[in-house]
Structure 1
Amino acid sequence: MSGSHATAKWYNESVPVEFTRALLAQAQAHGKDVDAMLRAARFPFDPLRQRAQTTCVSPEQYSRLCVELVRTLNDESAGVMPDVQTPVGTTRLILLTMLNSSNLAAAMRRSIEFNAACRVRQGVEISNQLEIDASGKLATLSYLCSDDLPEVQHSVLCNLAMWMRFAGWLIGQHIDISEARCAGPEPAFTAGIRHFFPCPVKYGQAVNSVTFSARLLEAELVRDEAELSEFLKLAPYHVIIEPKASTLSVTQRIRNILGSDFRTEMPSFEELTGLLNMSARTLRRRLEKEGTSYQRIKDNARRDAAISLLSRDGLTVSEVAERVGFSDPSAFHRSFKKWTGLSPGSYR
């Protein structure tokens, strides 16, 4: 196995400046003083005026600006959820309510109960449910605000993705969303949806929903109140930009082993057991408990690398295919469409 597999990171620790511009544009749309926000957040420059100064900002800078936008609007959904206002502090209270639950299923149901009882509505009916399919293998979390606002449903769906990142942090595991459904039409600008959902997304559905392995609902919560206070300092970064990597998850350990260079052969399952110092039986049981498999982890690693490479200029689709380990471009096309619901060319 190449040494690069053992050391490469598959996540970033900086924020493209375009994300900060989006925050400021949201503030402008609500008539807020952007200069005052930047000063309060101790932001070193104005991303709207000084476009050439930098391409990235730090997680701390981005998180401070998010917090300031929330404080200015007094809305933790930053004005993108039209059905309810989410006053500052609501997310912390919901997570505190969830902390002592017996498992993730109980925690999610507590959050749904909190949402039904405590959030400030604007005269619309809300549907918020957690359901398990007949096979017992798939769980679906759904949310629908007023269905006469089709143009905002993709934003509501993205908020569901953020909530799943909170849930993943609570159990110390990444929650892999296998399919998403949007109650509105496909938006003209799909970068936000693609950022949160590297999986098939269906539009024009009855509700907004995310589907994931039901096995994860059995997972115990591994966080306490002190960890929550620490997490919330960078929560905007971890729920919007990059989920917090977990040292508790065997999936994460495998992703770290695989790295991001797939031009060399990935370790076999037998080699992997040696690298993790586990028996094959133990590893299979741990992966099943985390609602995944070694093949799915490998597929997701190659998918994420392909998405990153497709966003760069100067690489052809064939070159991207080769870099993620496909000698046959047509096989890459088939696999990428299975992973994301789109062909590589359409995704780009």
Structure 2
Amino acid sequence: MREEALVKQLVDSDFYNEAVPIEFTRALLAQAKNYGADVTALLEAARFPFDPLTQHAQTAFVSREQYSRLCLQLIQVLGDESGGVMPDVRTPVGTTRLILLSMLNSSNLSAALRRGIEFNATCRIRQGAKVVNGLVVDAEGRDATLTYLCEDDPLEHQHSVLCNLAMWLRFSGWLIGQHIDIVSATCAGPEPELNAGLRHFFPCPVEFNGTANAVSFSARHLEAELIRNEADLRHFLKLAPYHIVIEPEPSEVSVTQRIRGILGDDFREEMPSFEDLTGLLNMSARTLRRRLEKEGTSYQRIKDNARRDAAISLLSRDGLTVSEVAERVGFSDPSAFHRSFKKWTGQSPGSYR
């Protein structure tokens, strides 16, 4: 009955769309077991109503608050803010908060990231290990690339390092109130046999066996001013595991997020034209273009990303053919969907599934 009540609570709740798939919770508990932690005590401390590892729970989701509490309890138990993802390197509890505090009050995101890189370097010194951590902008000033590589890290851990870079960009997006779209990524290790984690963070082409772990995004974001303060950070940290790992926090000031809300997730009907959009947002065409350029995106990219995200979600479901997925995201020609999906993700729909 407790599980049924939880299901009803989630379905009736305003947070239903922000709920966390149970697989993420089970992964946390499996990590805890690997380190010999008392899972029962962990669940009790996080005020969980059931044990996802031992019960065949009907619940497919937990709330974002439950997931975040469980993450924070695991960090406390392990004494490692990475949650034990990197077994040969521990991040003492409190390190991340201090790094984030050092980034606040920077003049813009570029300065904030460089502060974070400098602070991180002082926390990651290892005897004899060469660490490369940097931020560069290409010659045209179009794309920025954040890189990290420690030569001592085993190759099988590099995909976890790459995911950590994606998490840092999610926090960076929160700092400036903008969604930062990763346009490409490179992993210093081989492609893992199980790559669900990479797919979660990178709905874009990912290259493997590179010289460093790297994520690229629009350099225009670096110019953005920070809109958060220390009080905002205290509130954010309570749900940081959810917003950093599961779903970035949407911003009321981001035009990109407002457009994504207008587009919705049903693309069988024609999307609004740019002129329609200016009316819906009560902006002139010139102002809208300037705002989108400032956020490092365009209306076409937003539409493509909306279709891409919907296609990825639909492909993960059983019972839908690739042709049916193509139709649901607005493609009447399956071959055109194949071409677009491969451009978006670097894989064909069949391979991605």
CA distance in 2: counterparts of 1:38 and 1:83, whole angstroms: 26
Q: Does 1:192 align with 2:192?
A: no
* CA positional deviation for 1:292: 0.3
Quick one: which of 22, 25, 34 aligns to 2:30? 25
TM score, norm. by length of structure 2: 0.93
2:82 touches 2:90 (CA, 8 Å); kept in 1? yes
For 2:127 and 2:78, locate their aligned partners in 1 and report how far apart those are by CA, in whole Å: 16
The structure 1 residue matched to 2:40, chosen from 24, 32, 35, is: 35
Whether 1:305 and 2:310 are equivalent positions in the alignment is: yes
Cα displacement string for residues 144-183 of structure 1 (whole angstroms, at most 9, x for unaligned residues): 1235610110011111111111100000001000001000
Q: Specify the SS of the correspondent of 1:232.
A: helix
Instruction: Indicate whether 1:67 and 2:78 are aligned.
Output: no
Structure 2 counterpart of 1:97: 102
Residue number in structure 1 paired with 2:136: 131
For each residue in 1:74-113, what CA deviation from the matched residue of structure 2 results, as whole angstroms up to 9, or x when unmatched? 1111111356321111111111111100000000000000
- Tell me if structure 1 keeps the 8 A contact 2:342–2:349: yes
| Alignment partner, residue 156 of structure 1 | 161
Q: Which one of 237, 245, 249 corresponds to residue 250 of structure 2? A: 245
Corresponding residue of 1:277: 282
* Matched residue, 2:3: none
- Greater Cα offset, 318-327 or 91-100: 91-100
Separation in structure 2 between the aligned mates of residue 123 and residue 40 of structure 1, nearest angstrom? 39
Q: Which has the higher contact order (CA 8 A, sep 6+)?
A: 1
Looking at structure 2, the residues matched to 138 and 144 of structure 1 have their Cα atoms a distance apart, in angstroms, of: 20
Residue 51 of structure 1 and its aligned partner are, at CA, apart by 2.8
Q: 1:1-348 residue pairs with structure 2 within 5 A?
A: 12-82=17-87, 84-119=89-124, 121=126, 124-146=129-151, 149-348=154-353
**Counterpart secondary structure, 1:12:** helix
1:12 positional shift: 3.1
Q: Secondary structure at the match of 1:22?
A: helix
8 A Cα contact 1:84 1:122, kept in partner: no
Match for 2:46: what amino acid?
A: A
CA 1:65 to 1:123, structure 2 compared with 1: closer, same or farther past 3 Å? farther
Q: Which amino acid aligns with 1:29?
A: N
Matched residue SS, 1:298: helix
Distance 1:122 1:56, change over 3 A: farther
So what's the TM-score if we normalise by structure 1? Answer: 0.95
| C-alpha distance in structure 1 between counterparts of 2:322 and 2:234, whole Å | 44
Secondary structure at the residue paired with 2:66? helix
Q: Verify the 8 A CA contact 1:12 1:242 in the aligned structure 2.
A: no
Length, aligned pairs only: 339
Contact 1:147–1:183 under 8 Å retained in 2 = no
Please tell me the root mean square deviation across aligned C-alpha atoms, in Å: 1.4
Structure 1 contact 157–209 (Cα < 8 Å) conserved: yes
* 1:284-341 Cα distance to aligned partner (Å, 9 max, x none): 1110000000000000000000000001111000000000000000000000000000
CA gap of 1:148–1:158, structure 2 versus 1, over 3 A, is closer
Q: Matches of 1:125 and 1:80 in 2, distance apart? A: 20
Per-residue deviation, 1:30: 1.4
In 2, the alpha carbon distance for the partners of 1:245 and 1:167 equals 13
State the Cα distance separating 1:28 from its structure 2 match. 1.2
- SS state at 1:84 partner: coil
Amino acid of the residue matched to residue 245 of structure 2? I
